[in-house]
Chain A
Amino acid sequence: MTDIMVEVSGLTRRFDVSSPWLNRLLQREPRRILTAVDDVSFSIARGSTYALVGESGSGKSTIAKLVLGLLKPTAGQVLVDGSDLSATATAASDALRRRVQMIFQDPYASLNPRWRVGDIISEPIEVFGLEPDAGARARRVAELLDQVGLAASDATKFPHQFSGGQRQRIGIARALASRPEFIVCDEPTSALDVSVQAQVLNLMRDLQSELGLTYLFISHDLSVVRYMADQVGVLYLGRLVETATRDALFEAPCHPYTRMLLDAAPRIDGFGREHQTDGGEIPDPINPPSGCHYHPRCALATERCRVEVPAVSNLEGRQVVCHEATQILSGSVDL
């Protein structure tokens, strides 16, 4: 039995995106409900990285917010080390919050431009009452800056004095300040250039092995996911369509959507490669296709896929949500 850090079960979140009631009344519009996250379940082992990958509108960032307790789920729950973050504030959930932190996508928007770096990093230490003494806090800030590859003297500077990669390091130092065990990383490197992305990804991996961190790593970039993840979940229109270990997913993807996604990603060794694209795009999430959401784009789709939502099948240590999964894995159908 592996040691589970985070348990997400049956997580669902709907948003009401209807027009104001008078417009609905006058224009005889029905309510419009967007299901951003639809019955998503997964668990993350302590000290490992679970990656969620998907295109825009797949619900990745909504799941991040639900896991952090920034949004309340419509149904289902998130347990971090056995307790529920979205429960009403108690002493226990405050203690839990210290152990859960986040790294944001945009290092330009996530740091207060009027605060000195030292104040940004020491705020969580102060809020959680970890170091009551100001001198000790300053020492801790210096230690954190050193840990993320910046100089202790940078504490007196302002965010605008740093490049994008350095700002993301500041964001990481702030996330580490409360000595968390679990960090949600929402597209932490997609705003960065590749040479800087490599620095940040390496840093995150080093910190993980050094501090035993657990990551929920959210990205649209499969090559980055392959580099970071132990387990990967592929999202399509709010549903998990395939969950597998990194090696299983990248060596033998099973779900037709996963296969399409892997094929479509440009490869730096793919000289003159021609793509077999399905020609489709992500459908309107307010009126998603019936049955399996992917069926209008899927080469293998049958009448059953149009009508019936596929159940999760457990195949060779992976979970696939596809009617044809068994046939695909046995190689009896060609994509």
Chain B
Amino acid sequence: MSIPNASSASATGVQPVSRPSSSHDEPLLAVEDLVVEIPTRRGLLRPVDGVSFELNAGEILGVVGESGAGKSITGAAIIGLLERPARIASGSVRLAGKRIDNLTGDDLRRVRGGEIGTVFQDPSTSLNPLQRIGDQLAETARQHLDISRAESRDRALLALQEVGIPAAAERLDAYPHEFSGGMRQRVVIALALIGEPVLVIADEPTTALDVSVQAQVLTLLKRLCLERGTGVMMITHDMGVIAETTDRVAVMYAGRVAEIGPTPSVLVNAAHPYTRGLMASTPNPASDVAEGLVQIPGAMPGLLSIPAGCAFHPRCDRAVPDCKQKRPPRETINDSDVWCWVASQPQQARHD
């Protein structure tokens, strides 16, 4: 399949619109001590509890965790999509040095869809079923770029060509239901990128797709963002997707970051016991089948019953008394930041 190169932009006479770019010493996205709270009758829930990370331009940061880890809510908080009564209780989100966690109205709309594009899990719910996809793309382009109606149409065509939709010119007038699942997700990616964002938040972008289509969509997303220098926050539960697409990875557990660092070192030399457990329980194509999978006992705690101290301690085979009482501080081990009381201590062999 031939995918037109992004450099064909000049061929169609569309000039790239300049965007504010981040200065070099500033990360593209800086999330600091982010806390999201949901007041309920049964108490105050904290689905995100003190999350900090940074993402540089052109970098793909993976956010991985099991259900209930708070990864999607973190993404929603960054783009101001938290549904009430959920709210950002404290902490800050900076995009290229500028606070974006307290924006409202037009300021928020400029950031959301313009500077930050989003790709959600289910392509059939991110597109308007009653509007032709060409119109949806053109509308988004006009909304965020200072261009004319005719120009926005050219942009829409270009965007469809870039994501590899065959016969893009004719498909502009098609409705979302006329596309297959994989093609629809390509349209969603085109929609996310058409406002020329500096950051894309992709929340489980391929979970609803079959593996062969997943590989195509991930390759596409990776290539397009690399070409544009767009940062990507890739939220997923799939360790394989993390390994193959991300530069750095943050492992989340019960609303907190357990470990963050360069992907290969986190996955191969995990410092946090949870990351180790997660890797060992993932069926690995290179492992010996005769041996059972390593299993972590128990399950992720509910938001109403998050344990004191380190949230992972009841499931951890290395827990010490400190783990039960005090939240672990950030510690740098190798190239990773790890929140764990025991990670820096030499691990004792379990069977002696």
Instruction: Please name all residues of chain A whose beta carbon is closer than 8 Å to the beta carbon of B284 when the two chains form the complex.
Output: 223, 267-269
Closest A residue to B216 by beta carbon equals A277
Which listed residue (B183, B218, B263, B299) contacts A165, Cβ 8 A? B299
- Interface contact A195-B240, CB-CB below 8 Å: no
- Interface contact B293-A202, CB-CB below 8 Å: yes
Size bracket, chain A contacts: 35 or more
- Interface contact B243-A224, CB-CB below 8 Å: no
In the complex, whether B320 has a CB less than 8 A from a CB of chain A is no
In the complex, whether B319 has a CB less than 8 A from a CB of chain A is no
- Interface contact B214-A264, CB-CB below 8 Å: yes
In the complex, whether B241 has a CB less than 8 A from a CB of chain A is yes
Given known contacts A270-B240, A280-B1, A281-B183, what 15 new A-B pairs fall within 8 Å (CB)?
Answer: A198-B294, A198-B296, A201-B293, A222-B285, A223-B240, A226-B283, A226-B285, A265-B285, A267-B285, A268-B282, A271-B244, A273-B243, A277-B215, A280-B212, A281-B213
CA–CA, A266 to B293, complex, Å?
A: 18
In the complex, whether B219 has a CB less than 8 A from a CB of chain A is yes
Which listed residue (B1, B211, B216) contacts A220, Cβ 8 A? B211
Which listed residue (B267, B277, B293, B299) contacts A268, Cβ 8 A? B267
Closest A residue to B286 by beta carbon equals A269
Residue of B182, B210, B212 contacting most chain A CB atoms (<10 Å): B212
In the complex, whether B58 has a CB less than 8 A from a CB of chain A is no
- Interface contact A266-B212, CB-CB below 8 Å: no
Type the 1/0 row for B235-255, where 1 means its CB is closer than 8 Å to any CB of A: 001111111100000000000
Instruction: Please name all residues of chain B whose beta carbon is closer than 8 Å to the beta carbon of A194 when the two chains form the complex.
Output: 66, 237, 239, 278, 281-282
- Interface contact A195-B285, CB-CB below 8 Å: no
- B140-185 contacts to A (CB < 8 Å): 164, 180-183
Chain B residues proximal to chain A, CB less than 8 Å: 1, 66-67, 164, 180-183, 210-216, 218-219, 237-244, 263-264, 267-268, 277-279, 281-286, 289, 292-297, 299-300
In the complex, whether A166 has a CB less than 8 A from a CB of chain B is yes
Residue of B238, B263, B285 contacting most chain A CB atoms (<10 Å): B285
B244 to chain A, nearest CB (A): 5
Instruction: Please name all residues of chain A whose beta carbon is closer than 8 Å to the beta carbon of B212 when the two chains form the complex.
Output: 55, 260-261, 264, 277-278, 280-281
CA–CA, A160 to B212, complex, Å?
A: 35
- Can you spell out 20 A-B residue pairs with CB atoms less than 8 angstroms apart? A55-B211, A163-B299, A195-B295, A195-B296, A199-B296, A202-B292, A222-B285, A223-B282, A226-B289, A246-B289, A264-B212, A264-B215, A266-B238, A268-B239, A269-B267, A270-B243, A270-B244, A271-B264, A275-B215, A280-B212
CA–CA, A208 to B278, complex, Å?
A: 25
Which listed residue (B1, B215, B267, B300) contacts A193, Cβ 8 A? B300
Which listed residue (A246, A271, A278) contacts B243, Cβ 8 A? A271
CA–CA, A293 to B213, complex, Å?
A: 17
Instruction: Please name all residues of chain A whose beta carbon is closer than 8 Å to the beta carbon of B181 when the two chains form the complex.
Output: 281
Which listed residue (A56, A199, A222) contacts B295, Cβ 8 A? A199
In the complex, whether A79 has a CB less than 8 A from a CB of chain B is no
Type the 1/0 row for A272-288, where 1 means its CB is closer than 8 Å to any CB of B: 11110111111000000
- Interface contact B66-A195, CB-CB below 8 Å: yes
Type the 1/0 row for A202-229, where 1 means its CB is closer than 8 Å to any CB of B: 1001000000000000001111101100
CA–CA, A202 to B296, complex, Å?
A: 12
Instruction: Please name all residues of chain A whose beta carbon is closer than 8 Å to the beta carbon of B295 when the two chains form the complex.
Output: 195, 198-199, 202
In the complex, whether A250 has a CB less than 8 A from a CB of chain B is yes
Instruction: Please name all residues of chain A whose beta carbon is closer than 8 Å to the beta carbon of B237 when the two chains form the complex.
Output: 193-194
Instruction: Please name all residues of chain A whose beta carbon is closer than 8 Å to the beta carbon of B244 when the two chains form the complex.
Output: 266-267, 270-273
Type the 1/0 row for A56-98, where 1 means its CB is closer than 8 Å to any CB of B: 1000000000000000000000000000000000000000000
In the complex, whether A196 has a CB less than 8 A from a CB of chain B is yes
A201 to chain B, nearest CB (A): 6
Instruction: Please name all residues of chain A whose beta carbon is closer than 8 Å to the beta carbon of B66 when the two chains form the complex.
Output: 193-196
Instruction: Please name all residues of chain B whose beta carbon is closer than 8 Å to the beta carbon of A193 when the two chains form the complex.
Output: 66-67, 237, 299-300
- A299-320 contacts to B (CB < 8 Å): none
CA–CA, A264 to B263, complex, Å?
A: 20
Which listed residue (A223, A261, A275) contacts B285, Cβ 8 A? A223
In the complex, whether A43 has a CB less than 8 A from a CB of chain B is no
B24 to chain A, nearest CB (A): 24
In the complex, whether A147 has a CB less than 8 A from a CB of chain B is no
In the complex, whether A326 has a CB less than 8 A from a CB of chain B is no
Instruction: Please name all residues of chain A whose beta carbon is closer than 8 Å to the beta carbon of B277 when the two chains form the complex.
Output: 195
- Interface contact A271-B263, CB-CB below 8 Å: yes
